[in-house]
Structure 1
C-alpha cells in the first residue's frame, strides 16, 4: 500500500491585507486592516504582507501604507510578538522601494520587500511598463538598496504556467529567472500562479525542477490562485514535490488590483483579465489550514482562531467569501452520537 509523501511542517505566509484587499472594490478601513494583522499574528502567523508602496492614485486601497505600518509597529496587542514576525511590503517600482526604505529609516517600515517579474514579456510590459532588460537592471539596483537598508528582498516569478495576455509559457524560463534572482542577491523567491493557469501535474513538475536545481526549500514560496478552482489541489501537488512555504488569503480573496474602488473608477492595473471580477482570488487560508491539520502537518497556527478571523473578514468585505470551513468547521474527533 502506497503512502502519500509530503513535509510534516510548513511555513505559512498570510497576505490578506495586501493581496486580498487589493481586489476589493470597497475601501477597507485602516482600523480593519490593523485588526486583521493583529489577529493573524495572535493566531500564530509569522509572515504577513502589510501593504503596497505603489502609487495610491492607481491603487487607493493602499493610500494608508505608511499609516498602517506605523499602526502595526506600535500595536500594544502584538508588540511582544513583533520580533518574531516578518512584515512585507510590495514595491513594484524603484520609487516604491525608496518609499519603503524611508519608512524603515523612520522606524516603521517593512522587514522584507517584494518585486515581481513575469516570464511573459507582454505581461511584464503591462504590469510595469518595462522590458525584461529594463526591469532586471532596476531590480539589481533595488536589491542593493534594500540590503543596504537592512531589508530582505523577495523576487516573485510570475506567469510560470501561462499568461492571460500571451498564452502558454515555458517552465524552464521560470527556473532560469529564479536562478537569476538568487544570483543577484534575492533572499527568497515567490513562485506565483497569478491567474490560476496551473494544473496540479504541472505544479508538481515545476517544483520538482526547482528543487532539483535549487534544493533549499526555505528559498521557495508557493503562491496559487483559484481562478479555475484548482488551488488546494495545487497546494497538495507542491507539498508532494517538497515545498514547505505557502501563501494564502482569508476567504480566498485577492487578485488583480481593483480598477473601481470606493465608488470611483481608478487605473488599477487596467481592465480585468476576466469579465467576472469575483472569480479570481487566492488559495483560501481557512480551508488550507484545516486540510493541512487533517493531514497531520504542523502549520504553527491556531486553527480555531483562524476560522474565527475568517468569519470576521467576511463581515469586513461585506459578502460571502470562498471558505467552506468557516461554515462546516473542522472534522469532529470525538463521539458523534450516531
Structure 2
C-alpha cells in the first residue's frame, strides 16, 4: 500500500485573501464544498481577522455557516486573537490556526509586534482552543527568507517552532511565505526543526512558488520525512505584506508530482483540475497550475 501524504488545501483562505475584487460568499462556500468532496482531509476555509486588514475574509462566519460539512474533514480557520477565536468557536471550526514569523522585520510589518510579543498574544487563544477541544496549528511565516532582512537563520525557525509547540500546537507549518527557498535550504531547516518536532506527524511544508522552486522544495521535504503539505487549487494566493510573492504551490501540480512518486493522497486529481478551472473563471484570471492547464486541455 502506497505511503499516505496529507494535503491541506488552503485555497479558500490563504489563496483568496489576496484577491483585490471581493469574491462572492456563495462562491467561497461552493469552493470549500467542492474541495472537501474531492477528498481533502483538511480544508482551510475562512479567517476571523479584522476586515480592516483583510477585507476579503470579512464573511468568514457566513462561509462557515453555509458549508456542507463532510464527516472526517477538518475545517480550519485563521484566528490570531481571542476575538477571532470566539468567532471560530461560534462557527464550529475544527481547527484554529495561529501564525508567528521567524523574521523580526516581517513580524513588525505584518502584525506590528515582535516575535516574542506575537507568541505571547497567542497564549490565550491556544489555551482557549485546547479547553474547547479544538485542534491547534501554528504557522511559521518567512521560515526560509524575508523580504526585509533576507535569508532567515535556521536557529530562528527552530526557536519559533519550540515556542509554538509549548503553546500546544498539534501541527507546525514551515512556511516559505515569499517563495525564495531552495531544496538545500529546505533540507537544512527541516532537519533542524526535526530535532524538536516529529517531521512525519507534526510538521508540514507550506511553499510558495515565486521562484519556481516549490515542487523541488516538496521533494526535499519528502526526503527529510515530512508527510504533510499545503497547496492552493489553481495556485491561488500571494502575501499582502510581501511585494511580488506569488501564490501557494498549485494543488494540481503537487498531486501530479505525488502520484508520479507513487504516493497516496486520497484526493481526486481530475476533480481538482475541474475545481481549478471553475474558480479561475469565477475570479476572472487563468489558473497558475501547469498540470491543471495541461490536464484540462486533454479533457477538452
TM-score category (smaller protein): over 0.9
Distance 2:263 2:116 in 1: 41
Give the structure 2 partner of residue 58 of structure 1: 53
User: 1:169-202 CA distances to partner (integer Å, 9 max, x unpaired)?
Assistant: 2112211221221122111111101011211111
Match of 1:161 among 128, 135, 144: 144
SS across alignment from 2:217: helix
Q: TM-score w.r.t. structure 2 length? A: 0.93
Give the structure 1 partner of residue 38 of structure 2: 43
User: 1:261-314 CA distances to partner (integer Å, 9 max, x unpaired)?
Assistant: xxxxxxxx5xx523xxxx611111011101111221101111111111111121
User: 1:116-171 CA distances to partner (integer Å, 9 max, x unpaired)?
Assistant: 11121121111111222322222222110111122221111122212111222211
2:72 equivalent to 1:84: yes
Structure 1: state its 5+ residue gaps: 1-6, 258-268, 333-338
RMSD: 1.8
Distance 2:18 2:123 in 1: 29
| Rg larger for | 1
Quote how far apart the aligned CAs of 1:216 are.
4.9
2:88 equivalent to 1:100: yes
Q: TM-score w.r.t. structure 1 length? A: 0.83
Give the structure 2 partner of residue 4 of structure 1: none
Quote how far apart the aligned CAs of 1:204 are.
1.6
Distance 2:5 2:202 in 1: 13
Mapped contact 1:92–1:128 kept (Cα < 8 A): no
2:12 equivalent to 1:17: yes
Match of 2:251 among 273, 278, 285: 285
Distance 2:261 2:14 in 1: 27
Mapped contact 2:95–2:136 kept (Cα < 8 A): yes
Give the structure 1 partner of residue 66 of structure 2: 71
Distance 1:119 1:237 in 2: 20
The size of the alignment, in residue pairs, is 296
User: 1:235-286 CA distances to partner (integer Å, 9 max, x unpaired)?
Assistant: 11111111100000011110214xxxxxxxxxxx5xx523xxxx61111101
Give the structure 2 partner of residue 197 of structure 1: 180
Higher relative contact order (CA 8 A, sep 6+): 1
Mapped contact 2:47–2:60 kept (Cα < 8 A): yes
Match of 2:102 among 119, 125, 140: 119
Distance 2:266 2:96 in 1: 23
Mapped contact 2:182–2:213 kept (Cα < 8 A): yes
Distance 1:288 1:111 in 2: 25
SS across alignment from 1:153: strand
Match of 2:225 among 238, 242, 246: 242
SS across alignment from 2:151: coil
Mapped contact 1:9–1:244 kept (Cα < 8 A): yes
SS across alignment from 2:194: helix
Distance 1:249 1:306 in 2: 10
Q: Which stretches of structure 1, 4 residues or longer, exceed 3 Å deviation after superposition?
A: none
Distance 2:212 2:152 in 1: 20
Give the structure 2 partner of residue 273 of structure 1: 243
1:118-137 correspondence runs (5 A): 118-137=101-120
Structure 2: state its 5+ residue gaps: none
Match of 1:223 among 194, 206, 210: 206
